[in-house]
Amino acid sequence: MGSMRRERSAGCVVFYVSPDGVRRHLVLHYPNNHWDFPKGHVERGEDDFAAALRELREETGISEVEPVLGFRREISYFFTEAGERVAKTVVYFAVKALRPEVTLSREHLGYEWLTYDEAIRRLSFKSSREILAEVERLVDSQAASRGSNDDGGPRSSEQDHLP
């Protein structure tokens, strides 16, 4: 039994609030045909958040973001690459993109900005769907506690809030 290689990556759960107030989440189409969030390897000496922002910029061209305070989630899993067992940890942060323009890197086949329900259906992995649900709950609660829709966008119509 050989030694196990360890990898650490960092990524971003990215959303944008469109002019009509709808929150849309960015998902990328990877070459092995899965859909997931932007992420990549943490480089030596780099902190996780800096790595997540660098990967976001390299993979999508998005650099102007506001972090969602209080969100940081780690997931761990195993996979086999060229016969070698790899233990991978990915840490995710949540950020709001200030504009929706994407310049996709050659690493990916495509991208989409999707509503929460669409993104839940499109994401390939259960762990990613769970992370998106956590981000959505946090952003909703932060928007509600501020009593405004300018940062997260409304999930329901205004009349739902009438007495």
91-105, 116-130, 146-160: range with lowest mean pLDDT: 146-160
Average pLDDT across the chain, whole number: 90
In this structure, what are the phi and psi dihedrals at residue 131, rounded to the nearest 5 degrees? Answer: -65, -45
Q: Which two tokens stand for residue 162?
A: 């009438």
* Number of domains making up the chain: 1
- Residue 10 sits in a domain whose CATH number is 3.90.79.10
In this structure, of 53-57, 79-83, 127-131, 158-162, the range with the lowest mean pLDDT score is 158-162
Give 24-44 pLDDT, tens digit per residue: 999 999 999 999 999 999 999
Residue range of the domain that includes 26: 5-161
pTM of this structure: 0.85
pLDDT tens digits along 126-142: 999 999 999 999 999 98
* CA atoms lying within 13 Å on the CB side of residue 155: 12
Is 49 a residue whose pLDDT tops 60?
A: yes
- Give 115's DSSP letter: -
